Structures are given as C-alpha cells and as structure tokens.
C-alpha cells in the first residue's frame, strides 16, 4: 500500500462511548488494560466485513475515519471509528495491496464530500488465509503515513474469520487484545447481531434478529452472480438404475438393522445373565460374610469369657496336642516305610516260591512218567513169568549157573547205582537247605529296624 501525505486533526475532548448513556457498547474479545481503547461503530465494522468477503482471492483495503479523542473524565486517549472508505483504482495481488495516486485523490474527495468533520484515524486491509499480522511492507506504510500516536491499523482475514487492531506502543506496532463495538442505544439489536457475527455466535431469530450476516450475504451474492447452467434431465434408464441402487441400499440397511437388533437382543440377554450371576454371587458373598461374622462374634464372645490364664492353658494344650500329632505322624511314616520294605521282600519270596512250585510240578510230572515206565516194566515182568521155569531149568545147567552169576553181578551194579543216586539226592537236599538258610539270614539282615514307639503308642492293625 502506498499513500501520499496524510493530514490529521488535534484530539477532541469528549466522553467515551461506554460512559455516554446515548450509546450502547459490546466488546469483541477482551480488551487489555494497557491497550488503547478503540471504539468501532457497528455499521463501519459490518461494511468492512462485507468488503473483505466480496473477494477473498486478493487483498483489499481502505481508510478508517473517526475521531482521535481524550476522555473528559479520566483524561486518557481513545479512538472512535465511525466510518470507513473503500479504496478504488488500486493495484493488488493475492499477497499485496498498493494505492495509486488516483485512488488516494478519490479517497480525499469522498472524505471531504461525505465526512468533512471526520479525521483519518488509520487504515485497514485484508489477509485472505494469511492470519492477523503486519508485514514489513505494512509496517513501512504505517510508519511513514500513519505515524501519529493514536492512528491504528486494522487487519481482517475473511477466510479464517479472524481480525485485529494494531496500535503504537513504545514506538512500535503491537496488536491489541480486543476492541469495542458501538451503536445508538436504539440499535442495540443490530449491535448484538454484528458482535455475534464477528465472534461466530448464532444470532437470535425472529423480529429484532437483524438482517443477513456479512458472510451469508457474500455467499448469496456469489450464488446469484454465477452463470446459469442448463438443468440436467436424467433418462428413464438412469432413473431405473438409481431406483435399483437405492432399493438395494435400503435392503442392505434393513438387513444391517435386523442384525443389529438381534445383536442387541443377545447382548441384552447376556447382560441379564451376567446380572443374575452377579446377584447370586452377591447373595453368596453376603451369606459367607454373615457366617464369618457369626463365627468371629462367637469366637470373640468365647474369648471374652475366658481369663488370660485359661486362654494360656488352652493354648499350651493345643500346642502339646499338635506336637504329639506330629510325632505320631513321623512314627507312622517310619512304620509305613518298614512295611513297604518288608512288602518288597515278601514279593521277592513269593516270586521264588512260585519258581520252586513250578520246578516241583515239573518234577512231579517226571515222577509220574517214571511211574508209568515202572508199570510198563511190571507188565513186561508179568509177561516174562511164563519163561521163569524155563530159565530155572537153564540155570540148573552149567551155562545157566554162569548166566545166573552174571545176572547177580548186574543186579549188584544196579543196586550200587541206585545207592549212589539216592546219596546224590540227599546231598542236593542238604545243599538246598543250607542255601535257603543263608538267603533268610541275608534278608533278615537287610530288613530295617523298627523305630522307637512314641510315648503314647497308637495300635495299628495291618490286614
């Protein structure tokens, strides 16, 4: 932005609008205690908002008109902005705004013609989607053309819907925290509408709610200014396809609804079951707690009736009984171990006896076979008895005597054989007896000794 020389007037002494009963005031945000009080007429604020929304693709700007004032009561300065003038015949881009000589002359003519009694108290411009700040070029403009202490700069971002004033403080430009909107007391409803629009609060509907907001009016203007486009008429096939599509979508939504209802029903059933389970569990806990409380009360009652000496005596008897029980348990464990070892030895003995029984059965079978052979021999002897007389006659002869002598020798040999066999059997029996005796002695030596019985032995019967 570029300006030529700017003329200004001396501050005017008057009451601040928020102290004058003729005006109504509302604050935008919260003005700071060290901020320069800035009062903006609601119609000027509304006009600047509409100007900013008229074209959000480039920067726009204008001049602030009003009064540089001194408060009569507090003798402190403030600024009262009552009008604004839009800049025309300017050069602008998306990120810059520059006044020409013609635009500044036209602003001067309009101010002299329309508002000759107002001062130029500052300037305003827009930052579409850039935020509220003063660039180096903006600071250059303000320092060279608005250098008076009460001249301000106003920046509007119509995209982000933010705005803010900048003032001189300690020879540099700083942003104020808030400012005031003013109106005649009879225009309080319009003042409230503008304040709500600036802070994005919904305005009341119905009579007294005011007109359209600047943003809504700008959107309507854009809609009305768009070129008309021919209406599109769909074909029957497209309408049928749309009907089928929406029908399938409706069926899908219906199925989803049914599934959701079933799921909710099952969920409700499960929740009811869990609630019943929790209720029964709570009842069981209550009953258990009642039983425990009754037992504790009983114990406490019994403990209250006993003297310390009785309680000590009962405690010692319980401890002695516990020690005796432990001793009996240890003795029983020793007896169980001894019985286990004896049982294993008896199992070995039973296995050996089974082997001996099998051998005896085998021997009996062999003896039975010998008895059968003896019977066969007896039968053969009986068959040979008829020949006995003939043998005697033969024996009477010399050859017979020789044969008889030979037969007696053979008999002696058989007798000796029988004697030797019997002696061998007796010797084998003696050796077996000695072997069994040694095994019994070894088993008795391997058997563990019985542990000593407790002072009060317990009688056990083993079946």
pLDDT of the residue at 309: 74
* Beta strand pairing call for 172-175 and 178-184: unpaired
Residues 6+ apart with CB under 8 A from 191: 24, 26, 42, 181, 182, 183
pLDDT of the residue at 463: 43
What residues pair up with 122 in beta bridges, in sequence order? 64, 152
Residues 6+ apart with CB under 8 A from 187: 24, 42
User: Which residues of 204-280 form beta strands (DSSP E)?
Assistant: none
Residues of the chain with pLDDT under 70: 1-9, 89-100, 203-239, 295, 297-308, 311, 387-389, 391-404, 406-407, 410-414, 440, 443-463
Contact call for residues 85 and 110 (beta carbons, < 8 A): yes
**CA-based radius of gyration for the chain:** 65
Evaluate the CA torsion angle 126, 129, 132, 134 in order and state its sign: negative
Place of tokens 């705004």: 97
Contact call for residues 162 and 28 (beta carbons, < 8 A): no
Summarised one tens digit per residue, pLDDT across range 72-102 is 999 999 999 999 999 876 655 555 555 567 7
Helix H or strand E encompassing 152: strand 152-157
Summarised one tens digit per residue, pLDDT across range 109-149 is 899 999 999 999 999 999 999 999 999 989 988 998 889 99
Question: What is d(CA 390, CA 164) in angstroms, rounded to the nearest whole number?
Answer: 167
Question: What is d(CA 225, CA 228) in angstroms, rounded to the nearest whole number?
Answer: 9
CB atoms within 10 A of CB 189: 16
Residues 6+ apart with CB under 8 A from 401: 395
pLDDT of the residue at 39: 98
Please list the helix, strand and coil fractions of the chain in percent, rounded to the nearest 5, in that order: 60, 15, 25
DSSP one-letter code for 455: S
């Amino acid at each position: 932005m570029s300006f030529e020389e700017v003329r200004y007037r001396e501050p005017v002494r008057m009451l601040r609008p928020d102290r004058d009963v003729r005006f109504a005031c509302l604050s935008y945000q919260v003005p700071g205690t060290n901020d320069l009080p800035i009062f903006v007429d609601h119609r000027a604020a509304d006009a600047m908002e509409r100007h900013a929304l008229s074209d959000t693709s480039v920067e726009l700007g204008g001049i602030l008109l009003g009064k540089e004032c001194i408060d009569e009561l507090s003798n402190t300065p403030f600024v009262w902005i009552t009008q604004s003038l839009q800049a025309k015949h300017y050069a602008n881009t998306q990120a810059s705004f520059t006044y020409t000589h013609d635009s500044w002359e036209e602003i001067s003519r309009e101010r002299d013609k329309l508002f000759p009694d107002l001062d130029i108290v500052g300037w305003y411009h827009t930052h579409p989607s850039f935020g509220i700040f003063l660039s180096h070029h903006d600071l250059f403009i303000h320092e060279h053309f608005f250098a008076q202490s009460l001249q301000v700069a106003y920046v509007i971002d119509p995209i982000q819907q933010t705005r803010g004033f900048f003032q001189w403080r300690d020879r540099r430009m700083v942003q104020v925290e808030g400012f005031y909107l003013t109106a005649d007391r009879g225009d309080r409803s319009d003042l409230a509408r503008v304040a709500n629009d600036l802070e994005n609060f919904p305005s009341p509907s119905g009579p007294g709610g005011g007109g359209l907001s600047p943003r809504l009016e700008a959107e309507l203007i854009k809609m009305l200014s768009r070129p008309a486009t021919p209406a599109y008429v769909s074909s029957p096939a497209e309408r049928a396809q749309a009907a089928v599509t929406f029908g399938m979508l409706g069926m899908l939504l219906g199925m989803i609804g049914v599934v959701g209802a079933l799921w909710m029903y099952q969920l409700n059933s499960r929740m009811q079951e869990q609630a019943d389970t929790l209720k029964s569990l709570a009842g069981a806990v209550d009953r258990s707690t009642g039983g425990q409380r009754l037992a504790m009360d009983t114990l406490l009652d019994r403990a209250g009736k006993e003297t310390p000496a009785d309680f000590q005596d009962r405690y010692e008897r319980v401890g002695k009984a516990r020690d005796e029980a432990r001793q009996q348990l240890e003795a029983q464990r020793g007896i169980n171990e001894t019985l286990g070892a004896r049982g294993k030895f008896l199992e070995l003995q039973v296995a050996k006896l089974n082997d001996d029984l099998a051998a005896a059965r085998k021997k009996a079978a062999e003896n039975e076979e010998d008895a059968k052979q003896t019977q066969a021999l007896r039968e053969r002897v009986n068959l040979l008895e008829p020949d006995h007389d003939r043998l005697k006659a033969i024996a009477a002869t010399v050859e017979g005597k020789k044969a008889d002598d030979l037969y007696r020798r053979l008999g002696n040999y058989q007798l000796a054989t029988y004697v030797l066999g019997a002696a061998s059997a007796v010797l084998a029996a003696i050796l077996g007896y000695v072997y069994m005796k040694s095994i019994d002695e070894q088993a008795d030596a391997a058997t563990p000794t019985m542990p000593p019985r407790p002072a009060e032995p317990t009688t056990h019967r083993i079946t």
